[in-house]
Each structure stands twice: as structure tokens, then as C-alpha cells.
């Protein structure tokens, strides 16, 4: 997160999105903390800054409330923002790093030194660009900001003066004279600033104004300060008297005029100018069509003042003598044995842009090296699809434009520079075209399919008038025909998409062409090992493809082709008659990878192999589509499960089973996994029916035990819990006999959860502790999460919310690190439950909303149910009964469809409490009666107690107080027998009902030492 005080107070996310900080007092609090970022500001000073001599009655408490509001605003702006506001004696501090506050970045730049005036101009210009107005503009009259404002504004003037001095050294006399006029008028007695302005006037040929300004300044100093001009001004005056006329005007630049706006390259322009400021040879490299030439023109255009002796651009269009082409542009004649080029450039501060060097690489590199050696003031900016490869060269990689994210809303898509370019060019080619809700999804698809390559996007934009974006997107599988024309003018190599890639292909050697076409069988890139194994290539050839901008080497060390290059290479692979052979080799390689990984996804290497398979997800899908056998899908099953990719897994298993109808152990295993993922997708099919069908074909004892555990583990809280328990017991016996520690630990974790379902807390703790110990020894992250789940429930039941929160936070960290998103959602909801039980209702709502969003994005239905039921509990605790009912009812039909009896018992209890709180005794009685029947079917004494407590509420509301008191006593007895008396935080409903009975009849209901669960959780609320 970033903060701004060089202007109005502002906050941005790391991505640059503005963050709203509401309320004047909260903004003032942030401003005070920003006067000393990273250091504590005392409580007394904060109170004085916020309220002056009229503080509120409870000033410290009110300050704490404002701190909470600030933390909430920062957290809403960016996750983790809450932690930036830290309590630190004697008050609070904003823990912002040195790069997070614009004033700190400005101060750092001001402290830099550089001998090169171009470098000084660059970094001081960047520092001044941070200013958006007067420092602390919203608090100009505030006493707390006075010192900071004075120091910052003085620094701004110093930076302005140093920047002007560097620009004068670079010959920007006229521009500096014009730009310093206003600051000099605002500070008429500041001698360094006045001296710079007078010097700029004189050097730009305005000697009369310079002398007049000097005499006026001398009179001002005498009248207002009683002083003479200082040594700097006196020396300047003598120099002006001694100097002759101003220097002649600089030569006009030889650059092509831009025909349209450069979109999405502001950062690249800044980077290029910075590199030119510090280095004499900069080469822009990147694939064909990425916009290297246009970027070079923009960099050169904005660098004219840095090169007062000339800026020239040479387009190397022909393989003729490169030196002759350069000499022609400079108006010289390069003769054999002569040196007119080096003679013309020697002693000049000039910029030479060499465009399109890749097809004359050696002569271009030789000439650049010779000119740079002979002309110390010369800088060269080259564009090439591969580096020149000479000493002193600095590369600037020009990537494609930013692609859109997963969102398809027009406002979100406009953040993508690829989308902005396409929309601008499409609107120019097709008047009336606009990015709106109808066109946005297709525009996003086009930009992604074309890799954000500007030339491809511009060619595509010309087809919008004829095809529209929907049809254009649909036809991009045949992109070389669709984008075969539409652009006239410019080099032939840039008129069609095929021509762009043809140009690069022709420059390749034989081995490079072979490697490029074979790489096309990979989807989403590949590792070096995969390229060597599948394509029969080596690292040297791959490195040359990267140098020639036809392959990209990612930060993870993977080799990737842009989609258009891959499509072109695939055509070449078909022409060579190699497609079938190399697709088969691809399928074999990735089948082997999947089988190798499957053995390592249970244990300490789980995290590594999850990430490895994540990287290879596209290749694994391609391998399955290219005929990988049923063993491949079985090998990937646990990966898909851990990643929550239930829909993808169902499709893969359904396809594999259809392709392999013959009976086999592998097919039986695949059918079991299809059942698992069907259950996880939660489409309303009864869980128990699915389990029984899947188990019918298992013969091998170990395979059957694994299936019995897995089918019982998945949605353990749904279906017949007693049958699930018996299955897990049988499986556990087999696992112990085989001394299989992983499956033993897994079965124990599931059995611990099932023990919760029938109220056996002793068995729960025993099995969970053993499971935790085994999984800790095995080092399996998923297992540690799974085993700790029952311990979280046990801590909640005991009212030990601190321990429950500790386990949940530890689990959340582990789930997020492992990118197990359904498990992450469950932990967020679990923390939301703890927040609810400890009275932090706002935090509880936020956590459940985050959990619900995550579950929906990953189609994790059980996690979705757990989160939405939690939102219902929070709404009820806040008194919003309509919202509570809406959230709770949203999951009823789904629970009925999958046999979620325990969940039905809990949700009916909560709906019954809603009806009771509305005063509807009849409706409350019906709902609690239905909930009691479900609870008894499950056999969980806590669920039965909850239903009885609800019935007591309905009966007492109807005036049947004696019966209600008996029900409360019965519920208390059940809880006591189960060792699960209600902790104080969960007594709201029971206390309310008991109070009503006592007030109406004088009967004191026996509710034990701790009563009812208005916000209690239930085993039916979530899956493991």
C-alpha cells in the first residue's frame, strides 16, 4: 500500500488503485501518522491534532475507535492493510516502508548525487513528478503539519533548483527560462532560484531580460533586506557581461511522426529513458509485432532535450551497407577508407536510433561499437528481435501488453493495456464501436488469444467492422487467414500476422526451426527437461530461440511460445509430417510425470509437486486429450482433489470411463473417483446411494479399504453417519494391518469427525490427536489440516476460542501457502465463527463473506454452505432476521438433495429461532419439530439438545412454560452427558428462553451452568 502527502492526502493499493479513507477525523489521524511514518506518534499528540482544546469525554476510547476505522479502511483497500497501523508506545505508528510514502521517496531522491547531468535531470525530474500540489494540502493550516510542510516545501525548491541546474548543463536553456518564471515570481528574494532563472534567460538569447531581471533583483534585496546580491549572483552578473551571444539552435530531429497514441507503454518509455540516461547502448528486444519501433520513436521523442546535438532514426530496411544507410540519414557520404560518420558524431551529445537490426545483426553491431568508441557523447538506441551482443549493451525487453484478468466487466477490462489498444483501434476502424457489457467478454478473449501483441491487436481491430467481435473471437483458431490483410503501408513484414512470423522464421537455422515447430505440442510452456525429452532439442538451441524473441523463458525457468507463434509452429510441424509422433511423445512424457507426482503428493513433498503440477496443468490436459490412458486420470485424482478442481476432474473421469469400457482395476478406481467428484460437485444426488453404487465392484481388500475411507471422508457429514463410521472402521483395520501410516492417519481424522457427529468427544480427541501426530511425522500439509479440524471443533465446544483461533490461523496459513482453496474457505469461515462467538460481528461478517466468495469461485459446495450458513448466524446475531432467514434458506434444498441430515437439523433449528424471535410460535414449533426429527436420525446428542432448546422457546412463546422448562432441562442433561455443556458465549438463546419462562411463570428452568447456541456450530455445517 502507498501513501501520498505531496499534495492532497491520498492512499493507493500496490497496484495503483485509489483507497478511500472516509471521515475527516480518520483522514486527519492518517495525516498525523504520516508526518512521522514508521515512528510512533504519542496518544496526546494525536488527540490534540484531532480535537485541539475540545477533546471528547472519553478521548482515548474515541481515538481507538478512529484507529479501528482507519484500519478497516486500509484493510478494505488491500488485504493486510489493517496491520500497517500498529499500537506502539507511547501511541500509534504507521508501519509504512521507505518506498511506501511519496515524501520518503522524494527525500531519498533529493539525497542522491550524480556527476552526469542527464542522470541528475532524470532522478530529480522523477522526484518532482511525485508532487500533486502543496504538501499536506488538506491540512495547510493544521499545527501538527506545519513543520513537515515547511521542510517538504523547502526540499521541493531545492529539487527544482538542482533539476534546473542539470537541465542548463544539458543545454535546455529556453525551456528552463520559461519554466522557472512562475517559481521565481513566487519567491522573489530566493537568490539561488533567481540566479538560475537569470542564467537561463541569458543563455537562451534573452540577454536584455536577464540584465533587467538582475537590476530589479538588486533593488529588491536592498529595499526589503538591506543587502547586496550574494556571491553567486555577483559572479553570474560578471559572467553575463563577459559572455558573447547565445549558442546557435540545435539541429532538428530526424524522427518519424507518430500517427496515433502510444497506449500502455508509459512505464516502458520511462524505463527506456532511464536506461539511456545511464548507458550508451540500449537495445529494445522482443517478438515481432510487439511495438519495438513505436516505443523507440516515443523514447527518442521524449529525449530530445537530453541530446542537444541531434537525434536521428535509421530504419535498416535492406541488407545493404549499414554504415551507408546511417550516413544517408545524417546527410553524409560514407566512403571506403573515410570516417565521415565518426568525424560528424565526435564531440556531439547525440542519439542514434537503429531500427530493425535483427537481419543485419553483425554489421549493425560492428557499426554501433565503432561509433560509440569514437564519439563519447553519442548514445545508441537499437531495436532488434535479438541482442546485438557487444560490450556495454543494456537490454530492455519489450513484452506484449498487459492482458485482462478473469473479470469481464468493462470497467475492469479497461485496466488492461491490451484491451485499451484494441478498443481504440477498433473504434477508429468501426465508428460507433464501444466496450460495453455485450462486447466486453469477446474483447477480453481476443486480447488473450492474441497474447496482447500490439500488431496482432491492430490487425484484428480492422476486422471488427466486417465480423464484429464475437465472430472475430470465434475465428481466431484460423488467425493467419483472418488477419491476412487489413493493414496498408509500412514494411511488408508488418502487414499481416503471418508475415511478421515468417520474417523471424527465415532468420532461423535448421536446428532452431526443428526445435520451434516441436515445441508447439506443449501447452502453456515446458521445462528444459520436457523440451529435451519430447522435442530432442538442447539448451543451446532453446537459448537461441529466446535470444531471437521466438520463445520466452519465464521466471520459473519454463520455455513458452506466444499463442500466435505456437499456431505458426504447429503448421510447420504438420508440414514436416511430425505432428502425430510428437503429440504421442508429449502424452507419454506427461503421463509419466503425473504418475511420478502421484506417489509424492502424500507426504513432505506435497507442496513442491502441487506447484509442479500447477505449472503443467495445461500440458496435462493436452496429454489427456491426446490419448493418455485411464491410469493418467487416476494419477491426477488426488491433485485435482487437493486443488478443488472438481468440475475438471469429473469431465476427465467421465471421458476416460467412456473411452475404456472394459472392466479392470484401473476402471474400478476411476469409477470411484468419478463418484467422489460427483459428490463434491454437490448436484443434489443422495450421497449414500452414490457410495453404495461405487463400492459394488471393489474386490481387492486394500483398494476397497481406500475406497471405503475416501467415499466416507468426502461429505462425511452427509448421508448415513453410522454406516460411514462402520466403513471407516473397516478401512482403518486394513490400513493398520498393512502398516500404511498415511491412510491410517487419514482414516483416524475422518473417524474423529464422525465421532463429533454422534457426540463422542472422548473418541474425537483420541483419534484426532493420533492423526495429528502421524501426519506431523509424515510431513503432509493436507493431512495436518485435516487432522486439526476436529480439534478446532473440540476447542469451540469447550469454549476455548483462543485455541480454536490459533488452530484456524495456523490452518489458514498452511492452506493458503498450499493453495488449497476449499480448505482456505473453511478456515476463513471457522475464524468467522470464532469472531461471532467472541462478539466481533463486523469481523465475523467479513470473514464469512471472503469464505463464501472463495468457495463460489472454486465451486466448493460444502465450503459454500458452511460460509452462507455462517452469514445467517451473523445476521441473526445482529438482529437482521430477514437476512438471516435468506441466508439459511438458501442451502435447504441442496442439503435435502444430498442427504445432509445433520445440516438440516442445524438449519431448521436456526430458522426456528428466527421465527420465535419474530413472535411466530406456530412456525417456530413446526421448524424445531422438523429439526428434532433430523437430529434424532443423526443421533448427535448436541443436535438433539439444540432442537429441544428451540422447542422450549416455541412452547414458552405459546405460553406452555412448564413443558418448555422440562425441555430445557432435558437438553441440559444431554449436553452434560456428552461432556459438552454450553460455554457462556453460546448461551444467548437458552438464557432468553429461560428468562421468559421465569418472568411469565416464576419457574426457574434447569439449564445447567452454561446454556444455548444461538450461534453454535454443528457437524452438519461443513465437510472435512
Cross-strand bridge partners of residue 314 = 354
State the pLDDT at residue 1018.
Answer: 36
Q: Are 822 and 860 in contact (CB under 8 A)?
A: yes
Is the domain spanning 899-999 CATH 3.30.70.2610? The answer is: no
Residues 6+ apart with CB under 8 A from 890: 868
> What is the overall mean pLDDT for the chain?
87
Do 207 and 243 form a contact (C-beta atoms < 8 A)?
no
Alpha carbon separation from 333 to 250, 338, 342, 377, 380 (Å, rounded): 22, 9, 12, 21, 20
What is the band of 1014 on the pLDDT scale with cuts at 50, 70, 90?
very low
CB atoms within 10 A of CB 13: 15
Percent of the chain at pLDDT above 70?
A: 94
| Cα–Cα distance measured from residue 278 to residue 276, given in angstroms and rounded to the nearest whole number | 5
Q: Flag whether pLDDT at 338 surpasses 60.
A: no
pLDDT per residue as tens digits for the range 402-426: 999 887 788 888 889 999 999 999 9
Q: CA–CA separation, 156 vs 731, rounded Å?
A: 74
Name the grid cell of 867: 460460509
Q: What pLDDT, on the 0 to 100 scale, is given for residue 1011? A: 36
pLDDT bin (cut points 50, 70, 90) of residue 537 is very high
Question: If you average pLDDT over residues 918-933, what whole number do you get?
Answer: 94
pLDDT of residue 247: 47
Task: Answer whether residue 675 shows pLDDT above 70.
Answer: yes
Written as one string, the DSSP assignment of 575-598 is HTT-HHHHHHHHHHHHHHHHHHHH
Q: What is the mean pLDDT of residues 343-355?
A: 87
Integer angstrom CA distances of residue 5 from 81, 177, 809: 18, 29, 35
Average pLDDT over residues 778-795: 91
- Helices (DSSP H) in 528-664: which residue ranges? 528-535, 539-547, 563-575, 579-598, 606-615, 617-625, 630-643, 646-659
pLDDT digits (tens, 9 = 90+) for 18-70: 899 988 999 999 999 999 999 999 999 999 999 998 888 888 889 998 999 99
Per-domain boundaries in the chain: 1-170, 265-397, 410-506, 899-999
What is d(CA 479, CA 476) in angstroms, rounded to the nearest whole number?
Answer: 4
Residue pair 118/306 in contact by the 8 Å Cβ criterion: yes
Phi-psi region of 1008 (alpha: psi -120 to 50; beta: other; left: phi over 0): left
Task: Give, in words, the CATH class of 1-170.
Answer: mainly alpha
Instruction: Look at residue 586 and tell me whether its pLDDT is greater than 90.
Output: yes
Instruction: Determine contact, residues 2/101, Cβ cutoff 8 Å.
Output: yes
Q: Are 670 and 634 in contact (CB under 8 A)?
A: yes
User: pLDDT tens for residues 838-877?
Assistant: 999 989 999 999 999 998 888 788 889 999 999 999 999 9
CA-based R_g, the chain, Å: 37
Q: What is the mean pLDDT of residues 123-139?
A: 91
Collapsing DSSP states into helix, strand and coil, what is residue 244? coil
Using CA atoms, how far residue 563 sits from 181, 447, 552, 560, in Å, is: 53, 11, 11, 9
Give the pLDDT of residue 145.
Answer: 93
- The CATH number corresponding to 265-397 among 3.90.320.10, 3.40.50.300, 3.90.330.10, 2.70.70.10 equals 3.40.50.300
What pTM was estimated for this model as a whole? 0.62
Q: What is the CB neighbour count within 10 angstroms for residue 92? A: 23
CA–CA dist 35, 14 (Å, integer)? 21
Burial 352-361 (b: 16+ CB within 10 A, else e): bbbbbbbbbb
The highest-confidence range among 177-186, 717-726, 744-753, by mean pLDDT, is 744-753
Cell numbers 420465535 correspond to: 916
CB 785 within 8 A of CB 807: no
Residue 1022 reports pLDDT greater than 60 = no
pLDDT in tens, 135-187: 999 999 999 999 999 999 999 999 999 999 888 887 778 778 888 888 999 99
Query: Tell me, what's the pLDDT at 898?
Result: 76
Q: Please state which of the ranges 40-44, 77-81, 248-252, 716-720 shows the lowest mean pLDDT.
A: 248-252
Dihedral of CA 462/467/468/474: which sign?
negative
Q: What is the mean pLDDT of residues 489-502?
A: 72
Calculate mean pLDDT across residues 80-98.
89
Least confident of 119-133, 370-384, 742-756: 119-133
Q: What is the pLDDT of residue 1013?
A: 35
Q: Name the band, by pLDDT with cuts 50, 70 and 90, for residue 628.
A: confident
User: 392: which residues sit within 8 A by CB, 6+ positions away?
Assistant: 279, 280, 281, 372
Res. 1016: pLDDT tops 80: no
pLDDT at 952 (0 to 100): 94
**Rounded average pLDDT over 832-839:** 92
Q: How far is CA 731 from CA 112, 517, 705, 756, 770, in A?
A: 69, 50, 4, 19, 16
pLDDT band per the 50, 70, 90 thresholds, residue 251: low
Tell me the pLDDT tens digit for each residue of 271-322. 999 999 999 999 999 988 899 999 999 999 888 888 888 899 998 876 668 8
Residue 379 backbone class (left: φ over 0; alpha: ψ -120 to 50; beta: rest): beta
Higher confidence at residue 723 or residue 635?
635
Q: At 7, is the pLDDT very low, low, confident or very high (cuts 50, 70, 90)?
A: very high
Sorted by sequence, the CB contacts under 8 Å of residue 910 that are 6+ apart come out as 869, 872, 873, 876, 884, 888
Closest CA to 106 of 175, 160, 146: 160
Amino acid at each position: 500500500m502507498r501513501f501520498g502527502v505531496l499534495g492532497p492526502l491520498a492512499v493507493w493499493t500496490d497496484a495503483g488503485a485509489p483507497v478511500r479513507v472516509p471521515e475527516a477525523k480518520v483522514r486527519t489521524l492518517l495525516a498525523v501518522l504520516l508526518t512521522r511514518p514508521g515512528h510512533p506518534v504519542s496518544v496526546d499528540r494525536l488527540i490534540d491534532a484531532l480535537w485541539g482544546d475540545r477533546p471528547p469525554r472519553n478521548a482515548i476510547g474515541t481515538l481507538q475507535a478512529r484507529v479501528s476505522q482507519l484500519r478497516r479502511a486500509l484493510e478494505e483497500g488491500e488485504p493486510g492493510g489493517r496491520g500497517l497501523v500498529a499500537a506502539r508506545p507511547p501511541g500509534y505508528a504507521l508501519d509504512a516502508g521507505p518506498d511506501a510514502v511519496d515524501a520518503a521517496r522524494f527525500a531519498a531522491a533529493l539525497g542522491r548525487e550524480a556527476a552526469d547531468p542527464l542522470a541528475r535531470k532524470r532522478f530529480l525530474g522523477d522526484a518532482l513528478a511525485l508532487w500533486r500540489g502543496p504538501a499536506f494540502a488538506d491540512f495547510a493550516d493544521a499545527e501538527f503539519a506545519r513543520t513537515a510542510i515547511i521542510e517538504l516545501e523547502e526540499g521541493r525548491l531545492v529539487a527544482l533548483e538542482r533539476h534546473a541546474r542539470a537541465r542548463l548543463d544539458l543545454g535546455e536553456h529556453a525551456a528552463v527560462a520559461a519554466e522557472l518564471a512562475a517559481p521565481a515570481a513566487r519567491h522573489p528574494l530566493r537568490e539561488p532560484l533567481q540566479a538560475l532563472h537569470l542564467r537561463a534567460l541569458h543563455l537562451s538569447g534573452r540577454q536584455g531580460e536577464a540584465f533587467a531581471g538582475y537590476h530589479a533583483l538588486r533593488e529588491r534585496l536592498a529595499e526589503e533586506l538591506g543587502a547586496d546580491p550574494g556571491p553567486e549572483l555577483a559572479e553570474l552578473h560578471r559572467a553575463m557581461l563577459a559572455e558573447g551571444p547565445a549558442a546557435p539552435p540545435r539541429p532538428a530531429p530526424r524522427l518519424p511522426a507518430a500517427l496515433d497514441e502510444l497506449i500502455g507503454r508509459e512505464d516502458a518509455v520511462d524505463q527506456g529513458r532511464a536506461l539511456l540516461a545511464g548507458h550508451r547502448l540500449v537495445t529494445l528486444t522482443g517478438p515481432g509485432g510487439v511495438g519495438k519501433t513505436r516505443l523507440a520513436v516515443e523514447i527518442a521523442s521524449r529525449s530530445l532535450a537530453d541530446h542537444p546535438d541531434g537525434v536521428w532514426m535509421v530504419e535498416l530496411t535492406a541488407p545493404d551497407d549499414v554504415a551507408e544507410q546511417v550516413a544517408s540519414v545524417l546527410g553524409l557520404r560514407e566512403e571506403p577508407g573515410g570516417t565521415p560518420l565518426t568525424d560528424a558524431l565526435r564531440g556531439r551529445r547525440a542519439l542514434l536510433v537503429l531500427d530493425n537490426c535483427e537481419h543485419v545483426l553483425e554489421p549493425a553491431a560492428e557499426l554501433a561499437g565503432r561509433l560509440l568508441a569514437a564519439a563519447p557523447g553519442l548514445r545508441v538506441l537499437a531495436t532488434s528481435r535479438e541482442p546485438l551482443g557487444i560490450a556495454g549493451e543494456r537490454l530492455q525487453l519489450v513484452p506484449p501488453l498487459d492482458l485482462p484478468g478473469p473479470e469481464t466487466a468493462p470497467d475492469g477490462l479497461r485496466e488492461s493495456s491490451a484491451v485499451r489498444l484494441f478498443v481504440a483501434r477498433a473504434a477508429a476502424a468501426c465508428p460507433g464501436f464501444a466496450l460495453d457489457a455485450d462486447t466486453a467478454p469477446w474483447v477480453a478473449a481476443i486480447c488473450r488469444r492474441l497474447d496482447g501483441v500490439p500488431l496482432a491487436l491492430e490487425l484484428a481491430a480492422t476486422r471488427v467492422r466486417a465480423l464484429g467481435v464475437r465472430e472475430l473471437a470465434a475465428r481466431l483458431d484460423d488467425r493467419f487467414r483472418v488477419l491476412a490483410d487489413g493493414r496498408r503501408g509500412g514494411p511488408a513484414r508488418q502487414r499481416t500476422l503471418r508475415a511478421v512470423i515468417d520474417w523471424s522464421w527465415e532468420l532461423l537455422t535448421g536446428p532452431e526451426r526443428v526445435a520451434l515447430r516441436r515445441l508447439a505440442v506443449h501447452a502453456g510452456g515446458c521445462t528444459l527437461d520436457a523440451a529435451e525429452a519430447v522435442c530432442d532439442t538442447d539448451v543451446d538451441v532453446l537459448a537461441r530461440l529466446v535470444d531471437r524473441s521466438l520463445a520466452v523463458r519465464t521466471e520459473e525457468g519454463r520455455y513458452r511460445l506466444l499463442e500466435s507463434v505456437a499456431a505458426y509452429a504447429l503448421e510447420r510441424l504438420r508440414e514436416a509430417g511430425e505432428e502425430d509422433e510428437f503429440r504421442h511423445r508429449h502424452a507419454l512424457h506427461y503421463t509419466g510425470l503425473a504418475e511420478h507426482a502421484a506417489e509424492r503428493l502424500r507426504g513432505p513433498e506435497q507442496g513442491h509437486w502441487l506447484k509442479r503440477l500447477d505449472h503443467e496443468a495445461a500440458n496435462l490436459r493436452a496429454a489427456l486429450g491426446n490419448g493418455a490412458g485411464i491410469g493418467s486420470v487416476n494419477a491426477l485424482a488426488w491433485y485435482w482433489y487437493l486443488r478443488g478442481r472438481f468440475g475438471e476432474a469429473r469431465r476427465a473421469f467421465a471421458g476416460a470411463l467412456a473411452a475404456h469400457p472394459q472392466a479392470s482395476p484401473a476402471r474400478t478406481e476411476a469409477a470411484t473417483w468419478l463418484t467422489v467428484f460427483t459428490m463434491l460437485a454437490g448436484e443434489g444426488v443422495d450421497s449414500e446411494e452414490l457410495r453404495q453404487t461405487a463400492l459394488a465392484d471393489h474386490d481387492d481388500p486394500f483398494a476397497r479399504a481406500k475406497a471405503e475411507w475416501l467415499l466416507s471422508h468426502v461429505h462425511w457429514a452427509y448421508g448415513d453417519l453410522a454406516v460411514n463410521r462402520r466403513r471407516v472402521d473397516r478401512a482403518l483395520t486394513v490400513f493398520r494391518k498393512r502398516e500404511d501410516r498415511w491412510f491410517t492417519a487419514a482414516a483416524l481424522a475422518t473417524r474423529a469427525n464422525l465421532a463429533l457427529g454422534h457426540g463422542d468427544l472422548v473418541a474425537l480427541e483420541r483419534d484426532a490427536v493420533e492423526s495429528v501426530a502421524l501426519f506431523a511425522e509424515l510431513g503432509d500439509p493436507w493431512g495436518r489440516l485435516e487432522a486439526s479440524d476436529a480439534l478446532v471443533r473440540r476447542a469451540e465446544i469447550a469454549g476455548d476460542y483462543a485455541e480454536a483461533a490459533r488452530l484456524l490461523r495456523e490452518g489458514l496459513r498452511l492452506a493458503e501457502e498450499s493453495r488449497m482453496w476449499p480448505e482456505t474457505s473453511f478456515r476463513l469461515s471457522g475464524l468467522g465463527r470464532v469472531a461471532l462467538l467472541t462478539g466481533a460481528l463486523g469481523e465475523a461478517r467479513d470473514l464469512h463473506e471472503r469464505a463464501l466468495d472463495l468457495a463460489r469461485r472454486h465451486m466448493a459446495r460444502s465450503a459454500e454452505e458452511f460460509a452462507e450458513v455462517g452469514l445467517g448466524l451473523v445476521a441473526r446475531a445482529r438482529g437482521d432476521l430477514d437476512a438471516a432467514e435468506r441466508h439459511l434458506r438458501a442451502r435447504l434444498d441442496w442439503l435435502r438433495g444430498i442427504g445432509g441430515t445433520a445440516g438440516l437439523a442445524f438449519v431448521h433449528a436456526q430458522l426456528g429461532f428466527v421465527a420465535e424471535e419474530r413472535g411466530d410460535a406456530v412456525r417456530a414449533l413446526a421448524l424445531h419439530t422438523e429439526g428434532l426429527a433430523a437430529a434424532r436420525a443423526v443421533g448427535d446428542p448436541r443436535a438433539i439438545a439444540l432442537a429441544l432448546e428451540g422447542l422450549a422457546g416455541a412452547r414458552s412463546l405459546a405460553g406452555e412454560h412448564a413443558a418448555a422448562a422440562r425441555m430445557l432441562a432435558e437438553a441440559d442433561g444431554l449436553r452434560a452427558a456428552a461432556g459438552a455443556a454450553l460455554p457462556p458465549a453460546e448461551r444467548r438463546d437458552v438464557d432468553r428462553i429461560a428468562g421468559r419462562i421465569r418472568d411469565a411463570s416464576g419457574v426457574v428452568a434447569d439449564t445447567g451452568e452454561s446454556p444455548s447456541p444461538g450461534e453454535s456450530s454443528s457437524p452438519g455445517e461443513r465437510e472435512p
